[in-house]
A and B are shown apart, each in its own frame.
Chain A
Amino acid sequence: MARIELTGIRKSFDATEVLKGIDLTIENGEFLSLVGPSGCGKSTLLRVIAGLEPQSAGQVTIDGSIVDGIRPSARNLAMVFQSYALYPHLSAFDNMAVPLRMRRLSTVERLPLLGSLLPSRRRRERSIRADIEKVAVQLEISHLLQRKPAQLSGGQRQRVAVGRAMVRQPEAFLFDEPLSNLDAKLRVHMRAELAELHRSLRSTFIYVTHDQAEAMTMSSRLAVMISGELVQVGRPAEIYDNPRDIRVAEFVGSPKINVMPGRIRDDGRIEVLGNILRLTSSQPPGNCRIGVRSERIELGSGPFSGDVIHVENMGAEAFVHLSLNGTDMRLIARVNDVRRLPDIGSHVPFNFAADAVLAFNSAGQRIAVTAEQAERIRERAVV
């Protein structure tokens, strides 16, 4: 149970700055995902929190006390690694016992032969065994405790790694892409299980992933990192609906958001692909970019049109890839009714609602747009 505060965290490797001043507060009991494309510095940030990597500047605070310069072992955080990092020579039980033995046994008690003769060691070993068995029941790995990591499947190893983190009841759990070595089906399953685990432990979870689906489905809050900076922090739905930056909009959501080149006209109205939208912006005239999520594109009618070049039918839904006339731009539209899919090669008109539009300026910043009042249009039509 811990509140973790990061202030102005910077990290450079030689000349390259990997973290460019990160400020973030992780509340007690929160499930926060650090998400971003590969190489954005999210793993480095997690390692800074764990203490495995010293930051070049800034401060890490756990529960009000500054932990800079404090060894990882003294921070009382648990970490689950991408490769699980189980000790290959130890059984699952012994793997889970390591953090407990390191903390509860003295150096003398840990000695191989001599230590086991001490009565205090035997007493402590009993309590360690009890704790491990309790966690093993919770994770449904009781029958695997005597096996070596090599005799376990990927999913089982993952559970043992989580168990090793759980047994010592740490202040917070750090996960470094723990699901990326699992196959797709198991990954979806473990996603739900980890979220459930978080609910039952009510501990602080910091979860690093490059998979936006994982981040969206599991976390209570998302921190999107792009090239060493925190671009946006918020609830998953908020980030999906209201991205502050085009990079966030492009990263979150699958398939990727459709981005079209647009222009803010002198009268403040926005023009896309030769059509004027019922949207105005207070921004100065010039080029802009228009993002529309694939599920907001309606095929069938409208001022826009494109050629169908590919159809991905998932069974419950389908993605129609469109090539826009005369350009090499492509759009993806989600169709919920898979019985009415356009043929490949056909020419289809499409449209999208004004409130589906996310507009960004040429620097990629989100810009505010206001929908035109319906009356105004009617007035103009009269004139």
Chain B
Amino acid sequence: MSDSAATISVRIPVRATAQRRSRPSLTPYALVAPALTLMLMMLLGPLAGVIALSFTDYQLGAPSLSWIGLANYHEMFADKVFWISLRNTLVYVGIVVPGAVTAGLAIALLIQSGTSLRSLYRTIYFLPVMATLIAMAVVWEFMLHPQFGLVNGVLREVGISGPSWLQGRSTALYALCAIGIWQAAGFNMVLFLAGLVSIPKQLYEAAEIDGASSAWARFRLVTWPLLRPVTTFVVVISGIRSFQVFDTVHVLTKGGPSKSSEVLIHTMYTEGFEFFRSGYAAALAVVFLTFILLLTLIKSRLADRGAQYA
């Protein structure tokens, strides 16, 4: 986008000056203007706004604000809650990404190798992606209820007394991780299925003739390497999405008990919309954006490498 704007603005004036030396043309700038305006308004403007806000003590609804420099950041780095929520977010990402990627790949492989009912299974596993997570979270709340929940009911049947998942300090975050995996696996499955379909069938036949008789050998020789571009994409997308985890936390635990399931976006929400400390929330948002940016950079770097046989 910015590239093409640059080339146009450079090339056309050169040609224009060759014809009419007196006046540099405004046409290229006029042509780029609508797109540039939209981008400024929708993306760059708000971003700059958030960054600027993070250097102020603005409170939501306050008539004035003052520049306080890095004070928000100093406060944030000294705050225990910030570090807990950052750690929890990283734990969440660290569990949900491998979990959802493996589950998505496994489901995709199973569906792909099946003969009938493929579209039925596809739909079933994709349901969590389409459903409203807030509504689903309520269902999960029932399922994980310590007394009459389905999960503990099943555990009781086999003689294990389950903990109160969402109320226990040691289990709340992991229960949320499980829901996160459940929710993301379907989306990953669809991406993996698309990747699997694009692998030529003859490669499997060649592998079979070359002596790869076990399913694992064929997976290692053909499926896994040819899925690499898709896998990179899925890992990064799952990473970004699980960094953004908020709705289940907000509905089910509100970050509790005693901050054991507090995550970055939830902290941001509490600071910004419950304590109205918009400046401080903006500083949190900047930290969050840095992580997302990092993931995006890794993705574009890896995608370039994987593109050769994608």
Binding site for B on A (CB under 8 A): 50, 52, 71-74, 77-79, 81, 83, 85-90, 98-99, 102-103, 110, 148, 150, 164
Contact for B208 among A73, A103, A110, A148, CB less than 8 A: A73
Does B225 contact A99, Cβ atoms closer than 8 Å?
no
B contact residues, range = 20 to 34
Within 8 A of A (CB), among B10-25: none
- Whether A79 contacts B209 in the complex (CB less than 8 A), given A85-B200, A88-B226, A102-B217, comes out as yes
| Cβ contacts under 8 Å, A89 to chain B | 225-226, 228, 309
Structural contact, A81 and B202, CB atoms closer than 8 A: yes
Contact (A98, B200) CB under 8 Å given A52-B205, A73-B211: no
Residue from B208, B213, B217, B221 within 8 A of A87 (CB atoms): B221
Cα distance, A148 to B228, chains bound together (Å): 16
A85 and B309: CB pair below 8 A? no
- Residues of chain B with a CB closer than 8 A to A87's CB: 203, 206-207, 221-222, 225
Asked, given contacts A87-B225, A88-B226, A89-B228, whether A81 binds B210 with beta carbons under 8 Å apart, the answer is no
Given the known interface contacts A73-B213, A88-B309, the answer about A52 and B208 at a Cβ–Cβ threshold of 8 Å is yes
In the assembled complex, the CB of A176 is this many whole angstroms from the nearest CB of chain B, namely: 9
Alpha-carbon distance A160/B34, docked complex (angstroms): 53
- Whole-angstrom CA separation of A7 from B308 in the bound complex: 46
Interface string of B183-226 (1 = CB under 8 A from A): 00000000000000000101101111111110001000110011
Cα of A71 to Cα of B212 in the assembled complex, Å:
10
Whether the pair B222, A78 counts as a contact (CB closer than 8 A) is no
Give complex CA distance A110, B214 in Å: 13
Interface flags for B24-63 (1: CB within 8 Å of A; 0: not) read: 0000000000000000000000000000000000000000
- Chain A residues closer than 8 Å to B206, beta-carbon distance: 79, 81, 85-87
Q: Which residues of B contact A (CB under 8 A)?
A: 200, 202-203, 205-213, 217, 221-222, 225-226, 228, 308-309
What separation, in Å, do the CA atoms of A22 and B52 have in the docked complex? 80
Contact of A85 among B202, B211, B226 (CB under 8 A): B202
* A85-B203 in contact given A98-B221, A102-B217, A150-B308 (Cβ < 8 Å): yes
Determine the chain A residues whose CB is within 8 A of the CB of B222 once the complex forms: 87
Q: How far is the CA of A74 from the CA of B209 in the complex (A)?
A: 8
11 additional contacts, CB 8 Å, given A50-B209, A99-B209? A71-B208, A83-B200, A83-B202, A85-B205, A87-B203, A88-B309, A89-B226, A98-B207, A98-B212, A99-B211, A110-B217
A-B contacts, 21 of them at CB < 8 A, read A52-B205, A52-B208, A71-B208, A72-B209, A73-B209, A73-B210, A77-B209, A79-B206, A79-B209, A81-B202, A81-B206, A83-B200, A83-B202, A85-B203, A87-B225, A88-B226, A98-B210, A99-B211, A102-B212, A102-B217, A148-B309
Complex contacts, B210 vs chain A, CB 8 Å: 73, 98-99, 102, 164
**Cα separation A164 to B203 with both chains bound (whole Å):** 13
The distance in angstroms between the C-alpha atoms of A87 and B226, with both chains bound, is 9
Docked complex Cα distance between A74 and B208 (Å)? 9
Which residues from chain B contact A98 at a C-beta distance below 8 Å?
207, 210-212, 221
Chain A minimum-CB-distance residue to B214: A107
**Residues on A with beta carbons closer than 8 Å to the beta carbon of B221:** 87, 98
Q: Inside 8 A of B203's CB, which chain A residues have their CB? A: 85, 87
Within 8 Å CB of A103, what residues of B?
211
When distances are taken between beta carbons in the complex, the residues of chain A under 8 Å from B213 are 71, 73-74
| A77–B207 alpha-carbon span in the complex (Å) | 12
Q: Which residues of B contact A52 (CB under 8 A)?
A: 205, 208-209
The smallest beta-carbon distance between B68 and chain A, in angstroms, is: 52
Given the complex of chains A and B, what is the CA–CA distance between A74 and B213 in angstroms? 8
Residues in A neighbouring B200, C-beta threshold 8 A: 83, 85
Residues of B within 8 A of A85 (CB): 200, 202-203, 205-206
Least CB distance, B271 to chain A, in whole angstroms: 45
Chain A nearest Cβ from B49, distance in angstroms:
45
CB-CB under 8 A from A110, the residues of chain B are 217
Complex CA–CA separation, A308 to B141 (angstroms): 87
* B228: A residues at CB distance < 8 A: 89
A81 and chain B: residue at smallest CB distance = B202
CB distance from B57 to the nearest CB of A (A): 53
Do A81 and B205 touch across chains, with their CB atoms under 8 A apart?
yes
A83 to B204, CA, bound (A): 13
Residue of B205, B207, B217 with highest tally of chain A CB at under 10 A: B205
How distant is the Cα of A71 from the Cα of B308 in the complex, in angstroms?
A: 33
Give Cα distance in the complex from A77 to B203, angstroms. 16
Residues of the A chain whose Cβ atoms lie less than 8 Å from the Cβ of B308: 148, 150
B246 to chain A, nearest CB (A): 38
